[in-house]
């Protein structure tokens, strides 16, 4: 188990993603290194008020602790009482143009240790897409790239992790998905460390191959106040999920992580309206009825 190799990969991934997104936007990510009193730290990279990206964050963290937070042990009680280290890259990109979807990606590794016993390690991650206006070719291309990332590791993985993503990024109080899904996996240790690490790299390296073509197709579509207000309204769903349900957010807060970095996923502007319903037959209504549904895109 080569933890240093994982860390080096994650730092390189953060750098590569920031470089390519800066190339798309024309603005640079600010870099902010931080340390955690309980152990470890990270490097947050944030781009604000760019021409393309209204707010984007690409965060690397590597933290250690004496005991696992409740968000981790709730579904794996055998981890209680173990020390841990966790490392990963997590990003959220909130574009300015409502026709460009918000995207999220995360790849991470955990190690839980106890004296006299073998370490327990696992990988997790994935990526998902949250459009404000639906385009079928974008959804198909996004999922086709996700499927290609999984295929070298077995034909069963994409359907499994696609379904897991649909189930995970779901707002039960709204009875609706957050977006059109992608991949989500956790607790991965089958097949040995090298195979699991290879899968992490396949997922991490494919994120921009999935997202960049969509950005380039939609970034110059003209929009007005109606589209902007719809985008801000739908961003509210993103906030609700990240603050109420997201396990990564809960883990970071419960492990006394750096709050600014944990909450970098939140958009800069958002609005809520009471009992709002889009007009029947409108592009906004089409998003809800034709895209934010359970569907096999490829």
Catalytic residue annotation = 104
Interhelix angle for 136-150 vs 193-218, to 10°?
160
The answer to the question of whether 104 is labelled as a binding residue is yes
The answer to the question of whether 94 is labelled as a binding residue is yes
Whether 64 contacts 39, CB under 8 Å: yes
The answer to the question of whether 106 is labelled as a binding residue is yes
The answer to the question of whether 143 is labelled as a binding residue is yes
CB atoms within 10 A of CB 280: 7
The answer to the question of whether 256 is labelled as a binding residue is no
Give the residue numbers of the binding site for substrate: 90, 106-108
């Amino acid at each position: 188990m080569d933890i240093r190799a994982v860390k080096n990969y994650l730092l390189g991934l953060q750098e590569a993603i920031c470089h390519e997104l800066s190339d798309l936007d024309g603005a640079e990510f600010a870099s902010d290194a931080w340390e955690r009193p309980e152990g470890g730290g990270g490097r947050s990279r944030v781009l604000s008020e760019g021409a393309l990206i209204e707010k984007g964050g690409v965060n690397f963290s590597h933290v250690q602790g004496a005991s696992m937070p409740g968000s981790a042990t709730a579904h794996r009680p055998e981890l209680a009482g173990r020390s841990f280290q966790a490392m990963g890259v997590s990003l959220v990109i909130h574009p300015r143009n409502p026709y460009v979807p918000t995207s999220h990606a995360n790849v991470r590794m955990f190690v839980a240790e106890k004296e006299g016993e073998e370490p327990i390690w696992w990988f997790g991650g994935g990526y998902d897409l949250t459009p404000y206006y639906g385009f079928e070719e974008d959804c198909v291309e996004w999922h086709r790239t996700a499927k290609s990332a999984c295929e070298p590791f077995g034909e069963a993985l994409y359907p499994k992790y696609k379904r897991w993503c649909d189930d995970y990024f779901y707002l039960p109080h709204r009875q609706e998905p957050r977006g059109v899904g992608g991949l989500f996996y956790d607790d991965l240790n089958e097949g040995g460390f090298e195979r699991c690490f290879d899968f992490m790299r396949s997922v991490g390296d494919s994120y921009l191959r999935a997202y960049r073509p969509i950005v380039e197709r939609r970034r110059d579509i003209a929009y007005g106040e109606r589209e902007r207000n719809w985008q801000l309204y739908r961003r509210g769903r993103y906030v609700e999920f990240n603050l109420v349900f997201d396990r990564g957010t809960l883990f970071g807060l419960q492990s006394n992580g750096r709050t600014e970095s944990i909450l970098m996923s939140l958009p800069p502007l958002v609005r809520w309206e009471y009992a709002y319903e889009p007009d029947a037959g409108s592009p906004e209504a089409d998003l809800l009825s034709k895209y934010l549904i359970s569907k096999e895109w490829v």
